[in-house]
Amino acid sequence: MPKSQRNQAVPTKTSLLLTLRYLATGSYLRSAADFCGVSPPTASRIVKKVTEAIAQLRTVIIKFPDNLSTLQDGFYEIASFPRTLEEIAAEP
């Protein structure tokens, strides 16, 4: 009888890969789960845990330049998209 993967910890790299694949491709969670060899319920728990960790680290990971108005003007010139960075840069 083959050895079961049940109750085996999913490596951190696999958890991050699964989450990034799910977020980047916009695919179904089942597809990302199959890709990484885990069940959909496990994939769901992993995505929740990893996205919460990324959200907590957002002020460390995401850095905005001091000249946001210049950046906004650039986005507007490219795509006529106003107030692009105000919501992204806003503190919760």
- Written as tens digits, the pLDDT of the chain (92 aa) is 445 556 688 999 999 999 999 999 887 899 999 989 999 999 999 999 999 999 999 888 777 777 777 777 887 888 777 766 665 555 55
- Cα 50 from Cα 19, distance rounded (Å): 7
pLDDT at residue 27, rounded to an integer: 77
pLDDT at residue 87, rounded to an integer: 57
- Cα 9 from Cα 30, distance rounded (Å): 19
pLDDT at residue 1, rounded to an integer: 41
